[in-house]
Amino acid sequence: MAPISIAFDFRLLAGPVEHPPIAYANDGVWTRNAGQESRQLYIVWQSSNCPLAWSPDGEWVYYGNVNQVLALQHNGDGKIKLWEGRERIMWLLQSCARTGRLLFRAGGRLVLCEPEGLERTLFKGEFFTLDASLSANRAIFWMKEKLILLDWSEGSERTLISDCPVDFAISPDGQRIAFAEGCLRLFSEPEFTLLSSASEAATPSFSPDGQSVAFLNGDYELWRVNLDGTDLTRLAWVTGPLVTVGERKSSYACKPAWSSDGRFLVAQLTHATDCPSKKEAKIEHASVIIDFQESRAEVWPGYHNHAIFQPASGYGSFR
């Protein structure tokens, strides 16, 4: 099988990127440092769709594995069980650098864990997906085509949008929502703004300053656009023949990950190399890391659910 080929925006120079440590998942949990081979921290025997998160001090990688939340030491020397229950960890694992809190979905519950080990249930409900802004104590749920805003600091809950796609992201300040379904739109109550007409827009991800959104188009293109609709840029894309999401029966898109200073962006791009009749396509992945400050971009074998570490000194951390 020929290696996947990636092209970049003409302003980006292809070559090694001096990036902070990056965690990712594939057949386990791995970390990658600039200029070094990847290190496996944990072998996954039962797959989980839960994203990864770093502890504020960078010593640990948090991972949701089936019905546990684990802390894995970045050098591979240690493992701590932070949480265990009967419910399956689902789709969300976020940490807050300023407080050391963890937020995740366990079955039908939204669970918040404090660094001291205290746990509380913020929400119970039927099937839901969500995004959250921990610094603002807010979460937004998609449930039965409704977007619901939960503010646990005020104990309030209300419907924002009554008819909405499931693929969305909340801005760092908790005030705006980007969502994708046949295009990329921005919701800033009560107005909607079209950011991109990309027909397969997916997995929007706000920059840390909340001024731009990175997103994928069809699993094979990485884009960025400002919230005022300017500077819509295709940053990286797969070259060669492509197979549509419909033909390969499912999407492998993972939300692009930003460093906390907005300098680095990492994403997975997917190429379907073969699509036999009535069968799943053969899939090949590539990870793309972009350094906007140095205008450089690098490619390595692709994996899921990236998380970039950036130091945040003086804040709480699980032990």
* CATH number of the CATH domain containing 61: 2.120.10.30
- Assigned domain for 314 exists: no
Q: Please give the pLDDT value at position 50.
A: 65
- Assigned domain for 184 exists: yes
Number of domain units in the chain: 1
Q: What percent of the chain has pLDDT above 70?
A: 83
- Assigned domain for 299 exists: yes
- Assigned domain for 1 exists: no
Q: Please give the pLDDT value at position 231.
A: 94
- Assigned domain for 107 exists: yes
- Assigned domain for 234 exists: yes
- Assigned domain for 317 exists: no
SS3 letters across 208-231: CCCCEEEEEECCCEEEEEECCCCC
**Residue numbers of the chain with a pLDDT score lower than 50:** 1, 313-319
Q: What angle do CA 257, 103, 96 make, to 5 degrees?
A: 60
- Assigned domain for 263 exists: yes
Q: Please give the pLDDT value at position 223.
A: 97
Q: Please give the pLDDT value at position 77.
A: 81
Q: How far is CA 136 from CA 111, 140, 277, 299, in A?
A: 16, 12, 49, 34
Q: Please give the pLDDT value at position 46.
A: 52
Q: Please give the pLDDT value at position 140.
A: 85
Q: What is the span of the domain harbouring residue 276?
A: 6-308
